[in-house]
Structure 1
């Protein structure tokens, strides 16, 4: 199996588990919405930035942001650096899902460590962080 698929399968598993945990806690969000929601920067993001980060068209990002705004997870506010532009920001409602997702991630990491061992888990994390140095355009 090629390395791309070996990386994709656990990533998909993580996304599915985290989304299930958040949905089970009462948050109504789809996987597509979550992918956009997770990419909103701490100070907010422009729609074009979200589309690029989520690797979707600007129209798709706008549609998903509209849905998330109607559900109370995102808000649009004026961009302080450009009065003509708008920023998309997460709301308190969206931030309430973060601890749930983080707890689920911690459970997964513990399960994986039990399965492959502490040393290999540490090596996996270190290797992925090193790969991030050359593969993550948003770093």
Structure 2
């Protein structure tokens, strides 16, 4: 179990390919046996079949301190037009959207922390200026450096 605030990124993994099957010779023989020469020609021409498959559908989630977790939705060859694939792809997309939201919130929190820490840092140098430990020029230079100006 990892807390949401530890999530820093993710990577979708979708490995797939197109499969083309040629049944032209078999169809030509059957067509020729049933309908003669014309059947053989029609059988040979209509013998090809092509479809897409995915053999891995997963998301790698990256956490702080180089931790990683892989959520596997599918790990066997499945046709992309099947009910199984479509159902798993929907769950995959829901998780990806949730991770986007979590990462966005985490990045906003990091930005807010940075602003607070910059303000704290400037306040520390202001106190040093008020004490007389540093000069106004040193304070201004440090302030510009902290603000990236």
What TM-score, normalized to structure 1?
A: 0.29
Larger Rg: 2
